[in-house]
Amino acid sequence: MSNAATIIADLAAGNRRFLDGQSLTRSQDSLEKLKTYARVGQTPKAVILCCSDSRAPVEMIFDQDIGDLFVIRVAGNIIAPSLVGSVEFAAETFGTRLVLVMGHSQCGAVGATLDHIEHAEIPRSENIHDIVSRIKPHIFAIAAIKDIPRGEKMNRAVEANVRASVGQLAHASRMIESLTMQGKIEIRGAVLDLSTGRVVFLDP
């Protein structure tokens, strides 16, 4: 299995192909791969924990194919027990070396959390409130900053939320802590700019 740096370089190259309209993925090839993986099982190169937003299709923006990525999607790319369990499953079962937490610009969950902090807007359901409550501590200080445009505040909040999720995930369970300490997995963060399609990988 490739190390995390090699996998990140591969994902970055795929994102450049996506931006240039030079995707290598073809539907017929993908179908054949699906049939093969149905017989022999999967060996994904990376685990991607990302937002559920329909504008952020992970395989497409990284020009990856069926079987390449183990994708976990949840609004606001938050860390919750079932999501941690999914990361554990992939890391233990497939030996996947990279876990990438990816947020994106214009994130609705982050925006709703800013509105909740700044204008005391009440989330429309208990379950949405749970998402907001998980994001709120990580962006509260940013929400309190005065005299910066909403867009800039959103961008800062999105990155802060990704970094918080990376930190939380690293200590979310004894299994993940052990794998990280042994160098068997690396947890990194990234942000997708919806207006350009470009992914920026955050420094550790």
The tens place of each residue's pLDDT in the chain, 204 residues long, gives: 579 999 999 999 999 999 999 998 877 788 888 999 999 999 999 999 999 999 999 999 999 999 999 999 999 999 999 999 999 999 999 999 999 999 999 999 999 999 999 988 888 899 999 999 999 999 999 999 999 999 999 999 999 999 999 999 999 999 999 999 999 999 999 999 999 999 999 998
How far is CA 192 from its chain centroid? 9
Domains of the chain: 4-201 (3.40.1050.10)
| Angle value at C-alpha 123, between 136 and 103, nearest 5 degrees | 45
Strand bridging mode 199-201 / 186-192? antiparallel
Q: Which residue has the tokens 């994102």?
A: 15
Q: Burial letters for 85-114: b for 16+ Cβ neighbours within 10 Å, e otherwise?
A: ebbbebbeebebbbbbbbbbbbbebbbbbb
Q: Which residue has the tokens 């995707």?
A: 23
